[in-house]
């Protein structure tokens, strides 16, 4: 069989532990036999990050900026235990944090829907994508423990020395205080990333905040979204037949529970933190959740939402059998290949991505799955297989699928 040719390389970002093991299996079993895979390879495995003093992470971000599409394996964010385990020179920052900061990106998380792995919410028929604004608010707060009687004020001094001052509260006893901020430029980038992503999925976009209570802060978010929509996206949305609407966060939560899914839900930082975990558990499993970082200038980095599955890796190292779910990592590859195909006008590449996704879903729906899914499936008598056999079962389905086309 002829392999599919690529014109532009994908930025391939390798990672750590069990996901690094799966990465190699996926390439060997599911990609290389079918595609003349062109990648520019960056090894973000912890040993090489350490060897380069973490320079390789910045180089990977530059490469994504250059080529526009990357695919990333899960990586370790070192803590004190990892510094000892790997004999690191430093406790390096989270690679995802570095990539997000360098690409000024927004992260979109989408569950992978499979018959037999049912969402807890019965009417959710299509995936709900969460877009989280990953900047500012309570994550960059300044807090103060009020010891006793006194007056709290909000003071801003501009660079010309003009002072604006307002009272927050007159304390008659101990309590707490918090200051938070955000930037119009960051909110605008976030809004653009959300509008572009909803367009690329051809799905409605919801944005929710609490501007009835927060009449300046949340209103700023609301107004920036509305302004960006009117000026830059309304026409495209109308042409695509999709909708944007703003609503209050409590109303959005109520509506989400009654919706059938198939929407992009843009959230402020804290709301996104909370609701992305709620959604991933309600849809079944973290191992069935994909994640894509989108920059305002249209660069894409695809990955799985889960980590390196450390516990499974230690078993693997001891020579024991593992049954680790590779679905989210496979979908990171298909997302990146499909996008590369779109950008380069290579229809076969995008069609291959569709086939591989169908083969993966059909494998699970036929009752063959990894241990994590076998525990929660509604399919009777599921067959739990090991990590490699699961990928090989997908390969068999993929060959059928492609033979059929
Ligand atoms: P994790 O790798 O997401 O795994 C947590 C647990 O969830 C696993 O022990 C496993 O449960 C289950 N699980 C997650 N993914 C699975 C899969 N694909 N198949 C089957 N089960 C799966 O999180 P962690 O163990 O807390 O973190 C490990 C490392 O990952 C850390 O060093 C952290 O820094 C890193 N991390 C990286 C990213 C990223 O690169 N995007 C994200 C999060 C964490 P059982 O053990 O019960 O089977
Ligand atoms: Mg969280």
Q: What is the pLDDT of residues 12-31, one digit of tens each?
A: 999 999 999 999 999 999 99
Structure confidence at residue 404 (pLDDT)? 61
User: Which helix (H) or strand (E) element contains residue 178?
Assistant: strand 175-179
Q: Which ligand has the minimum distance to the alpha carbon of residue 273?
A: 2
Residue with CA at minimum distance from ligand 1 atom 40: 74
- Average pLDDT for 322-337: 98
Q: Would you say residue 179 has pLDDT above 70? A: yes
Which of 119-128, 131-140, 229-238 tops mean pLDDT? 229-238
Residue with CA at minimum distance from ligand 1 atom 30: 307
- The β-bridge partners of 290 are 110, 304
Rounded distance from Cα 273 to ligand 2 centre (Å): 5
Cβ contact 383:368 at 8 Å: yes
Q: What is the pLDDT of residues 49-67, one digit of tens each?
A: 999 999 999 999 999 999 9
Residue with CA at minimum distance from ligand 1 atom 7: 309
Q: Which of 57, 83, 100, 307 maximizes ligand 1 atoms within 8 Å of its Cβ, making it the mutation to test the pocket? A: 307
* Three-state secondary-structure class, residue 405: coil
Q: How far apart are CA 374 and CA 363, in angstroms?
A: 13
Among 3.40.50.620, 1.10.10.10, 3.40.718.10, 3.40.50.2300, what is the CATH number of 1-111+298-405? 3.40.718.10
- Average pLDDT for 69-84: 96
Cβ contact 22:324 at 8 Å: yes
Rounded distance from Cα 77 to ligand 2 centre (Å): 15
Contacts of residue 148, defined as CB under 8 A and 6 or more positions apart, other chains included, come to 171, 173, 174
Q: Which ligand has the minimum distance to the alpha carbon of residue 107?
A: 1
Q: How far apart are CA 239 and CA 34, in angstroms?
A: 36
Structure confidence at residue 71 (pLDDT)? 98
Q: How far apart are CA 252 and CA 156, in angstroms?
A: 33
Q: Would you say residue 114 has pLDDT above 60? A: yes
Share of the chain above pLDDT 90, in %: 85
Rounded distance from Cα 287 to ligand 1 centre (Å): 8
Rounded distance from Cα 232 to ligand 2 centre (Å): 31
Share of the chain above pLDDT 70, in %: 99
Pocket, ligand 1, Cβ cutoff 6 A: 74-77, 96, 286-287, 303, 306-311, 324-325, 372
Instruction: Report in angstroms the alpha-carbon separations of 169 from 146, 155, 166, 177, 399.
Output: 11, 13, 9, 9, 68
pTM > 0.75: yes or no:
yes
Q: What is the pLDDT of residues 225-258, one digit of tens each?
A: 999 999 999 999 999 999 999 999 999 999 999 9
Q: Which ligand has the minimum distance to the alpha carbon of residue 314?
A: 1
Rounded distance from Cα 79 to ligand 1 centre (Å): 15
Q: Would you say residue 134 has pLDDT above 60? A: yes
Rounded distance from Cα 277 to ligand 2 centre (Å): 6
């Amino acid at each position: 069989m002829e392999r599919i040719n690529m014109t532009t390389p994908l930025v391939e970002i390798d990672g750590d532990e069990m996901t690094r093991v799966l990465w190699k299996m996926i390439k060997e079993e599911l990609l290389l036999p079918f595609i003349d895979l062109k990648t520019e390879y960056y090894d973000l495995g912890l040993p090489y990050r350490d060897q380069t003093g973490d320079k390789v992470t910045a180089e990977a971000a530059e490469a994504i900026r250059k080529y526009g599409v990357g695919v990333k394996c899960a990586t370790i964010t070192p803590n004190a235990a990892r510094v000892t385990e790997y004999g690191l020179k430093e406790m390096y920052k989270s690679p995802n944090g570095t990539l997000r900061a360098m690409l000024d990106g927004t992260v979109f998380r989408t569950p992978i829907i499979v018959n037999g792995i049912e969402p807890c919410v019965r009417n959710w028929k299509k995936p709900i994508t969460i877009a989280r604004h990953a900047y500012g608010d309570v994550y960059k707060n300044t807090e103060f423990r009020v010891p006793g009687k006194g007056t709290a004020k909000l003071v801003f001094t501009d660079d010309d020395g003009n002072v604006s001052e307002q009272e927050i509260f007159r304390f008659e006893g101990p309590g707490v205080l918090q200051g938070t901020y955000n930037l119009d430029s960051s909110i605008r980038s976030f809004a653009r990333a959300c509008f572009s992503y909803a367009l690329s999925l051809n799905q409605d976009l919801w944005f929710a905040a609490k501007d009835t209570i927060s009449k300046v802060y949340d209103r700023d978010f609301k107004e920036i979204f509305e302004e960006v929509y009117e000026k830059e996206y309304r026409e495209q949305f109308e042409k695509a037949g999709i909708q944007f609407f703003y609503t209050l966060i409590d109303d959005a939560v109520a509506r989400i529970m009654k919706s059938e899914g198939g929407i992009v839900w843009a959230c402020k930082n804290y709301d996104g933190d909370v609701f992305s975990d709620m959604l991933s558990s309600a849809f079944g499993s973290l191992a069935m959740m994909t994640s894509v970082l989108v920059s305002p200038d249209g660069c894409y980095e695809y990955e799985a939402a889960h980590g390196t599955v450390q516990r499974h890796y230690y078993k693997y190292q001891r020579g024991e059998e593992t049954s680790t779910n590779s679905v989210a990592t496979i979908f990171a590859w298909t997302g990146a290949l499909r996008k590369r195909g779109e950008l380069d006008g290579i229809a076969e590449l995008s069609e291959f991505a569709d086939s591989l996704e169908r083969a993966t879903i059909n494998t699970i729906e036929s009752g063959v799955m990894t241990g994590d899914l076998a525990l929660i499936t509604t399919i009777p008598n599921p067959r739990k297989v090991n990590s490699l056999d699961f990928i090989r079962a997908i390969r068999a389905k993929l060959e059928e699928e492609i033979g059929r086309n």
